Amino acid sequence: MSLMTQQSSEQIDVSQARGRVSWSRILGTVVLSLITLGVLWFVITNERFEWPVVWEYLFNPSVLLGLMMSLFLTVTAMTLGTMLGVVLAAGQLSDYWPYRWACIIFVGFFRGVPPLVQLIFWYNLAYLLPRISVTLPGDREVVGWSTNDLITPLTAAVIGLSLHQSAYMAEIIRAGLLSVDRGQHDAASAMGFSRWNTFSRIVLPQAMRVIIPPSGSQIIALLKGTSLVSVIAMGDLLHAVQVIYNRTYDVVPMLLVAVIWYLVVVTLLTLVQRRIEEHFGRGDAQSRVRAVSGKESTT
């Protein structure tokens, strides 16, 4: 019986096997192709999009300046938010309960308040605190500033976006640190590693595999979220096109200019994110290969 099975299997040429025709996939491809062609035809042939106006203002100096401001806000808020997020993540993992609960409440508050509300609040901080000063006992002012002079649209945008971002980055970093097995800490301690070397050489590289993907998504979300600062008259990309279409009444073409630039930058950020993910994923893939080869050798 086994001999007949072996002979029959030798007679089967797998290279000549034909795959089954999936009519559902063919139908789905046809439907998606028709929808795509219909959308492209609508976008290209509809004169109300006013594509000549779009190309005219795509590289307008004020638009490019607004784009640079959006990128500046993204980098600044992400940097400050990540730095504060590391402190908050460490605090939530701390054994000192007052520090831990203070960080938990901070994260919960700034995750719960919408970023637009935070921006408007910080921009109107002078209503609650007309003057920011350092005083000594006896109400002797050492140094002070008018809140309206300090809290400009730029500073309000940086503060609001950074605090909002720090709450989300704290959760991302905390999840990444918790993903590393506790045995890694114990093994490093047994080998004589200091706490800093344990964190920088063992814990952090493994945690980065978990931290990088959501952090990349947060950067992209933050870039798009910078459009909210137009509400407080901050000269970002959206505010730049708003100023132009308020003057020319070309609302749709100018919004398309903003859409094109957002898509270009988000696409570039996505490519960079995937390259970084591949870099940090190499060690994980190599460790899995070694683990599998070790199991095979033992068997």
Query: For 166-225, what is each residue's pLDDT tens digit?
Result: 999 999 999 998 888 878 777 887 888 887 788 778 888 888 888 988 999 999 999 999
Question: Beta partners for 132?
Answer: 145
pLDDT tens digits, one per residue of 267-280 = 999 999 888 888 77
The single-letter code of the amino acid at 192 is: G
The whole model's pTM is what?
0.80
**All domains of the chain, ordered by start, with CATH?**
51-129+145-280 (1.10.3720.10)
Sign of CA dihedral 128, 134, 139, 144: negative
- pLDDT at residue 18, as a whole number: 67
Structure-token pair, residue 37: 């062609």
Q: Which residues of the chain have pLDDT under 50?
A: 3, 287-296
pLDDT at 94: 86
Q: What is the DSSP string of 15-50?
A: GG--PPP-HHHHHHHHHHHHHHHHHHHHHHH-GGG-
One DSSP character per residue, 181-216 reads -HHHHHHHHHTT--HHHIIIIIIHHHHHHHHHHHHH
Q: What pLDDT shows up at residue 283?
A: 57
Instruction: Supply 30's token pair.
Output: 């046809």
pLDDT the model gives residue 292: 39
Tokens of 138: 């006896």
Which residues, 6+ apart, have CB-to-CB distance to 210 below 8 Å?
Answer: 175, 176, 179
